Amino acid sequence: MESQLWATVDDLAGWSPEFVSVTYGAGGTTRAPTLSTVKRLVQETPLATASHLTCVSATREEVAQVVEEFRAVGVNHFVALRGDPPAGVGAAYVPHPGGFENAAALVRGLKDMGDFEISVSAYPEKHPESADLSVDLDMLKRKVDNGATRALTQFFFDNDTYERYLNAVRAAGITIPIVPGIMPILNLSQLKRFAGMCGASIPSWLDDRFAGVEDNPQARVVVAAQVAAEQITDLMGRGVDEFHIYTMNRAPLVNATLENLGLVRQAVGQVKAVSAV
């Protein structure tokens, strides 16, 4: 997987994304490899690099130590997330004693540590633990008031849902960019299982689009790239010009998606492709 990661980095760097982000394991379980990866991205590539950061299973002092480690290798952008409970998705979340109680507190802590660029999460279909959308919007506003720079959304496939969410966000007085998360579908069956855990819905028309190609990897890439490009094109028609693409450490599907949009490497045009490694 490490060799695949660097092949992916080499392959996707030509699209000149505004930044790439590197995920961070539940409870900080991948801190060492994440730090190593981020350090190499910063020092050996031209890519602006952000690291995910969570506050699960860590005191404020431990989080501050992690932040200093990343700052020392040149990171000034974090994707600040609460993180999943140590017992897994669906388990009750309990803040760590002496730690940051939620993502809004983590954002405030980061701002106290330095003038960092901070991206946060947003949920067009609400976070699965939230009672309703108003609770989600309140948390997002707290994150923004504490210093968040932009919000990156959970993936979705119904652009009307995103547009309704964006209207609600703006009505709540939140003005930061709400960058839509685009998930090119590598495997529809696996995506359905993942979506069930994170509260994202999968429209039935996707079954029709992928009918007959689930066991044909090449044909599946063609369909998946078309679906992702169509979603981006529709969002562009609604005034969106910035996208956070979940690459899942694989380049071919992302390449095909951007090529379907008529983009050329090193000439990204009007779309700023914000990639998550």
pLDDT at 40: 94
User: Taking the chain, what is the end-to-end CA distance rounded to the nearest angstrom?
Assistant: 12
Task: Look up the domain containing 59 and give its range.
Answer: 2-276
E strands in 46-91: 49-54, 77-81
Distance CA 163, CA 176 (A): 15
Distance of alpha carbon 225 from alpha carbon 210, whole angstroms: 11
Whole-number pLDDT of residue 159: 98
Using DSSP's 3-state secondary structure scheme, residue 142 falls into helix
Instruction: Work out the angle at residue 95's Cα, subtended by the Cα atoms of residues 58 and 64, and round it to the nearest 5 degrees.
Output: 30
**pLDDT confidence of residue 80:** 95
97's CB contacts (< 8 A; 6+ apart) are 59
Assigned token pair, 13:
């760097």
In this structure, are residues 76 and 50 in contact, taking their beta carbons and an 8 Å threshold? no
Q: How many domains does the chain have?
A: 1
Q: How far apart are CA 180 and CA 68, in angstroms?
A: 30
pLDDT in tens, the chain (277 residues): 788 899 999 999 999 999 999 987 655 556 778 889 999 999 999 999 999 998 887 889 989 999 999 999 999 999 999 877 665 566 667 777 888 999 999 999 999 999 999 999 999 999 888 889 999 999 999 999 999 999 999 999 999 999 999 999 999 999 999 999 999 999 999 999 989 888 899 999 999 999 999 889 999 999 999 999 999 999 999 999 999 999 988 899 999 999 999 998 874 344 565 565 5
Is the Cα torsion angle 132, 79, 193, 89 positive or negative in sign? Answer: negative
Residue 162's CB: how many other CB atoms inside 10 A? Answer: 23
pLDDT attached to residue 239? 97
Per-residue confidence (pLDDT) for residue 203, from 0 to 100: 95
Token pair of 41 as six digits = 């991205």
pLDDT number for residue 92: 67
Residue whose entry in the numeric block shows the structure tokens 């290798």:
73
Angstrom distance (rounded) from CA 39 to CA 20 = 13
> Residue 45: which CATH number?
3.20.20.220
Residue 62: partners with Cβ closer than 8 Å, 6 or more residues away = 99
Tokens of 213: 């190609």
Give which of 28, 109, 42, 29 is closest to 277, Cα–Cα.
42
Instruction: Give the pLDDT confidence score for residue 269 in this predicted structure.
Output: 43
Q: Which two tokens stand for residue 270?
A: 């009007």
SS3 helix, strand, coil % of the chain, rounded to 5?
45, 15, 40
Number of H helices, E strands in the chain: 10, 8
The encoded tokens of residue 254 equal: 């992302």
* pLDDT score at 98: 86
